[in-house]
Amino acid sequence: MGSMFRGEEVALVQLFLPTAAAYTCVSQLGELGLVEFRDLNASVSAFQRRFVVDVRRCEELEKTFTFLQEEVRRAGLALPPPEGRLPAPPPRDLLRIQEETDRLALELRDVRGNQQELRAQLYQLQLHEAVLGQSHGPPLAAAHTDGPSSERSPLLPPPGGPHQDLKVNFVAGAVEPHKAAALERLLWRACRGFLIASFQEMEQQLQDPVTGEPTRWMTFLISYWGEQIGQKIRKITACFHCHVFPFLEQEGARQGALQQLQQQSQELQEVLGETERFLSQVLGRVQQLLPAGQLQIRKMKAVYLALNQCSVSSTHKCLIAEVWCAVRDLPTLQQVLQASSSEVGVSAVAHRIPCQDMPPTLIRTNRFTASFQGIVDAYGVGRYQEVNPAPYTIITFPFLFAVMFGDVGHGLLMFLFALAMVLAENQPAMKAMQNEIWQTFFGGRYLLLLMGLFSVYTGFIYNECFSRATTIFPSGWSVAAMANQSGWSDAYLAQHPVLDLDPNVSGVFLGPYPFGIDPVWSLATNHLRFLNSFKMKMSVILGVVHMAFGVVLGVFNHMHFGQSHRLLLETLPELVFLLGLFGYLVFLVVYKWLCFTAVDSATAPSILIHFINMFLFSRSPTNRPLYSGQEVVQYVLVVLALATVPVLLLGTPLYLLRQQRRRQRRPAGGQNEDKAKLIDSPDASESDWGPDEEKAGCSEDDKDAELVPSEIFMHQAIHTIEFCLGCISNTASYLRLWALSLAHAQLSEVLWAMVMRVALNSDLAVGVQAVLLVPIFAAFAVMTVAILLVMEGLSAFLHALRLHWVEFQNKFYSGNGYKLSPFTFAVEDE
Amino acid sequence: MRMLSDPCATGTCTAAPASLTCIPLGIPASAMTAHSFALPVIVFTTFWGLIGIAGPWFVPKGPNRGVIITMLVATAVCCYLFWLIAILAQLNPLFGPQLKNETIWYVRFLWE
């Protein structure tokens, strides 16, 4: 049978790698992804390991790569994915790659720096041009008047000073737009009356070289007189970080300056263009080099990190590594090592060593079984070689989901959605979608497929298709017969709004509906009374069956681990307890279904009362027995179940203690032979590696470790209490199957009654009704998908998962193992 | 649907039926739309039995043989059990559906 039933056999293998070939061997192992390295230098810090220098160099290279990558991204280019098979490069290539990368990085930095400088210069020139080019009316006009005139005499007589310089001077510059108002205010307050300032917005936007944002600067022209005012103005403009440019008074000189500026900026733009062309060339080279380089260096670093986990042999001729490897892959491992170390002369060797630690669990899955194994592993990865619940979960999980979700229409929608995803799974567009929610649905497409399929089946059994029942077969209830025999005239019917069909009347009940629930119940006002009883009993039956299956699976565990005493001391009492009490309940349910008819309906016994009385050893006089001898049978069953509790509690611990005492009395001679047998016969060439072998392997705990009695008893007591109380609570927990299917059915019913029926029952003309139906159907469809498919689907998924994780798995699964995570270069995409 | 050998047919005795002779044997009633019990049981037991018991023999050898056999058997068991519960629950109804008078008017002549 396939290896999904329990994990594969995993062995601890010791590798002897000759120093010269160690790198190649490990790199080949990484390509294959077969083995998991154990860290032999766990006590050594990361800085003291052997290959720390190489790891550092790789990391520095990675930093340079990151810088280059960032530059490429900033330029808006994309890095192509690496093509072809790129193995980890040999150590001597590291220097070459490092040189190339550093050169590229240096060039890139230089060119970038130049580009920034040129841009800044251009920016300044453009500002200057703009300032000179702007026409500021009044101050210029005022400048043309010669000398001070009476109009321009200051309001206050100027303070008598030695030298009245009334020559008008100009300060021209540019200021950021949001500072312009503040600047104007401050200038006016500080130099009131002694200046005229004119602010104007530039016509074109300039792109800021640093941030890249287009801004519109305000150019200003201040005309002032007086040297001190001039100094004040310059200080203020310096404060506001304005760019101030020399402003020549003469128009002609200004034009000349403008022309010169224009020429300069043109030249600068040419140089800038050249620089940018060179930059894109460099970026092109980076694009070529980077993907392959990144991959190679990543692999190299991984190889060195793996090598750091190996220990050095005493002769310093080889490295010793301990790896976990699946037994099935051992021949491949030997082959790979031989091939990698053939050129060195001395071959690398691998051989099994015994180990007391628990090996990791390895279960191989394909894309169908992977999602089911995933949901089992999400709770806990199985212990080494314990029974794996996943192959049963493939069917029972969608089935329990479907019990809670049962509706043909909804199931069909879910199935079609999943089918679309499955049929298109190989298209690259599917894998390229980055949306996490979509990835979740896509990863579980096989899960959804089965869930939808089973939901269609349970929908047929519940006889619900978008909450409507179908009459595939004719109903088993005849209303006509009831009406005829009870004399239901039209007048009688008019007086009674609801009437019961009595199965005692002949011809009314014609037999059970052959496939599912009779469609008459969907027309009945008391349908919940029937359905609740049916679904509750169904939940209990399914629950007891599921749990009993879980206990039976534990048998395989006990047999595999050679603990056959547990079969008698644990599995048998557990089964007796579970089936004696709850199996008996199932029996009562089925018995009542088979043997009590409508004739006895007035006096039909209540199973619940019987069950309660069974535990209390009492009786209710009004509740008649289901069969003769019921009391005796129940009494025996309860006593038997109670008797299993001490067996469960004390059986295994006493047995283990007795075994231990017997072993201690036996002479301790036979132990060493066992260890020798576990080591495979080594090759002759290995004789050099003698002393290292003895140091290998895990910590040598004695196989007969001291069993602490109190611990065993405690552990067993917890297990017993958990099982016995769990039986009751877990059985009740399965009632959620009833609860959720009821909720789904009711939601479905409400949606139909409140939405679709409104459109279908409206008393409008046919044409109008048809038009009305369109938006109402749209609302119905949207709410069906959002509430019933997504919300109820998630809810039923969650509860089915809980039933598996807790109620089913705690009967046999311990789930405290760890996965084999092989040393591999493949990056996890999922 | 008639009981075969039911001593409590009159509904007056309070003792429980002595044995499991109460399982009706699917004798078709005279009405046209009567449902037998034996026929669906035979049909579905055979159907799921073919899938769950005979199916595993026809699964081709390969690495997934074990998983496919498990799936077939589990499907057969689950689906058969579910159908069986549904039909057993309706075999001997203790009470009938309660219908609105509008429904009775309509269905009386529709489901003849």
B70–A515 C-beta distance less than 8 A: no
**Do the Cβ atoms of B49 and A424 come closer than 8 Å?**
no
Determine the Cα–Cα distance for residues A353 and A355; give it in Å rounded to an integer: 6
Contacts for B95 with CB less than 8 Å, ≥ 6 apart: A500, A503, A526, A529, A530, A598, A601
CA of residue A614 relative to chain centroid, distance: 48
Say yes or no to pLDDT of B27 above 50.
Answer: no
A120 and A255 part of one domain? yes
Stretch A721-736: mean pLDDT, rounded?
94
Say yes or no to pLDDT of A362 above 80.
Answer: yes
Report how many Cβ contacts below 8 Å link chain A to chain B: 236
pLDDT at A3: 72
Strand partners, A197: A222
Q: CA Rg, chain B, in Å? A: 21
Q: Write down how long chain A is.
A: 830
Three-state secondary structure call for residue A322: strand
User: According to the 3-state scheme, what is the secondary structure of A470-506?
Assistant: CCCCCCCECHHHHHHHHCCCHHHHHHCCEEECCCCCC
A299 and A403 part of one domain? no
What tokens does B75 get? 């499907």
Identify the domain boundary among A323, A352, A381: A352
Stretch A77-81: mean pLDDT, rounded?
77
How distant, in Å, are the alpha carbons of A49, A62, A282, A289 from that of A104? 31, 14, 7, 10
Flag whether residue B50 sits within 8 Å of chain A, measured between CB atoms: no
A30 and A88 part of one domain? yes
Give the minimum alpha-carbon distance from B82 to chain A in angstroms, rounded to a whole number. 8
Identify the domain boundary among A321, A352, A383: A352
- Dihedrals phi, psi of A466, to nearest 5 degrees: 50, 40
Q: Provide, as residue numbers in chain A, all residues whose Cβ is less than 8 Å from the Cβ of B83.
A: 461, 515-516
Top pLDDT among B109 and A469 is at: A469
Say yes or no to pLDDT of A383 above 50.
Answer: yes
User: Do the domain assignments include residue A504?
Assistant: no
Q: Provide, as residue numbers in chain B, all residues whose Cβ is less than 8 Å from the Cβ of A481.
A: 31
- Among the listed ranges A112-116, A221-225, A351-355, A613-617, which one has the minimum average pLDDT value? A221-225
Q: pLDDT tens digit string along B55-110?
A: 999 999 998 999 999 999 999 999 999 999 999 999 999 999 999 988 998 888 88
Give the minimum alpha-carbon distance from A322 to chain B in angstroms, rounded to a whole number. 30
A394 and A304 part of one domain? no
The number of distinct structural domains making up chain A is 3
pLDDT at B13: 40
A448 and A322 part of one domain? no
User: Do the domain assignments include residue A685?
Assistant: no
Contacts for A269 with CB less than 8 Å, ≥ 6 apart: A122
A594–B22 C-beta distance less than 8 A: yes
User: Do the domain assignments include residue A155?
Assistant: no
B31–A525 C-beta distance less than 8 A: no
Burial of A208 (C-beta count, 10 Å sphere; 0-12/13-18/19+): middle
A256 and A288 part of one domain? no
Planar angle of CA A193, A199, A203, nearest 5 degrees: 170
Stretch A738-766: mean pLDDT, rounded?
91
Q: Taking the CB of residue A128, how many other CB atoms lie within 10 A of it?
A: 21
Say yes or no to pLDDT of A482 above 70.
Answer: yes
Identify the domain boundary among A273, A300, A323: A273
A98 and A238 part of one domain? no
pLDDT band at A156 (very low <50, low <70, confident <90, very high): low
**Do the Cβ atoms of A216 and A201 come closer than 8 Å?**
yes
pLDDT band at A82 (very low <50, low <70, confident <90, very high): confident
DSSP type of residue A88: P
Q: pLDDT tens digit string along A281-326?
A: 888 888 888 888 888 888 889 999 888 888 888 777 888 989 999 9
Say yes or no to pLDDT of A466 above 50.
Answer: yes
Say yes or no to pLDDT of A688 above 50.
Answer: no
pLDDT at B3: 41
Determine the Cα–Cα distance for residues A8 and A1; give it in Å rounded to an integer: 12
A452 and A390 part of one domain? yes
A567 and A625 part of one domain? yes
Which alpha helices (DSSP H) does A150-226 contain, by range? Answer: 177-190
Say yes or no to pLDDT of A430 above 70.
Answer: yes
Q: pLDDT tens digit string along A510-529?
A: 999 999 999 999 999 999 99
Catalogue the long-range contacts made by A575-580 (C-beta closer than 8 Å, 24 or more residues apart). A575/A548, A575/A551, A576/A640, A576/A641, A576/A644, A577/A641, A577/A644, A577/A645, A577/A648, A577/A723, A577/A724, A577/A727, A578/A544, A578/A547, A578/A548, A578/A551, A578/A727, A579/A544, A579/A548, A580/A637, A580/A638, A580/A640, A580/A641, A580/A644
User: Do the domain assignments include residue A35?
Assistant: yes
- The mean of the pLDDT values for chain A is 85
Shortest CB distance from B99 goes to which of A478, A501, A545? A501
Stretch A799-811: mean pLDDT, rounded?
95
Q: Provide, as residue numbers in chain A, all residues whose Cβ is less than 8 Å from the Cβ of B88.
A: 590, 593-594
User: Do the domain assignments include residue A683?
Assistant: no
Contacts for A185 with CB less than 8 Å, ≥ 6 apart: none
| For helices A527-560 and A584-595, angle between their N-to-C axes, nearest 10 degrees | 140
CA of residue A669 relative to chain centroid, distance: 53
Determine the Cα–Cα distance for residues A312 and A695; give it in Å rounded to an integer: 12
Q: Which residue of B has its CA nearest to A502?
A: B96
A632 and A530 part of one domain? yes
Q: pLDDT tens digit string along A589-610?
A: 999 999 998 888 888 999 999 9
Planar angle of CA A348, A352, A358, nearest 5 degrees: 130
pLDDT at A668: 57
Strand partners, A244: A173
Determine the Cα–Cα distance for residues A597 and B4; give it in Å rounded to an integer: 12
Say yes or no to pLDDT of B19 above 90.
Answer: no
User: Do the domain assignments include residue A699?
Assistant: no
Say yes or no to pLDDT of A678 above 50.
Answer: no
User: Do the domain assignments include residue A777?
Assistant: yes
Amino acid at A52: V
A335 and A422 part of one domain? no
Stretch A768-788: mean pLDDT, rounded?
93
B97–A524 C-beta distance less than 8 A: yes
Instruction: Return the top range by mean pLDDT from A48-62, A164-178, A391-405.
Output: A391-405
Q: pLDDT tens digit string along A235-247?
A: 888 888 888 887 7
pLDDT at A140: 54
Share of chain A above pLDDT 70, in %: 90
pLDDT band at B112 (very low <50, low <70, confident <90, very high): low
Pairing mode, if any, of strands A243-245 and A169-175? antiparallel
User: Do the domain assignments include residue A691?
Assistant: no
Alpha-carbon torsion A118, A119, A122, A128, what sign? negative
Strand partners, A169: A224
Instruction: Return the top range by mean pLDDT from A430-439, A479-488, A625-634.
Output: A625-634
Residue of A29, A92, A87 lying closest to A57 (CA atoms): A92
Shortest CB distance from B98 goes to which of A498, A603, A626? A498
What range defines the domain where residue A91 resides? Answer: 10-108+276-352
- The mean of the pLDDT values for chain B is 78
pLDDT band at B21 (very low <50, low <70, confident <90, very high): low
A768 and A631 part of one domain? yes
A498–B35 C-beta distance less than 8 A: no
Determine the Cα–Cα distance for residues B71 and B82; give it in Å rounded to an integer: 16
Torsion of CA B60, B61, B67, B72, to 10 degrees: 30
Determine the Cα–Cα distance for residues A62 and A293; give it in Å rounded to an integer: 9
Flag whether residue A718 sits within 8 Å of chain B, measured between CB atoms: no
Three-state secondary structure call for residue A330: helix
Q: pLDDT tens digit string along A690-722?
A: 444 444 444 444 445 677 889 999 999 999 999
pLDDT band at B7 (very low <50, low <70, confident <90, very high): very low
Say yes or no to pLDDT of A407 above 70.
Answer: yes
Q: What is the CATH number of the domain that holds A225?
A: 3.30.70.2750
Share of chain A above pLDDT 90, in %: 44
Say yes or no to pLDDT of A685 above 50.
Answer: no
Amino acid at A646: P
Q: Provide, as residue numbers in chain B, all residues whose Cβ is less than 8 Å from the Cβ of A2.
A: 63-67
pLDDT at A509: 92
Q: Provide, as residue numbers in chain A, all residues whose Cβ is less than 8 Å from the Cβ of B98.
A: 498-501, 524-526
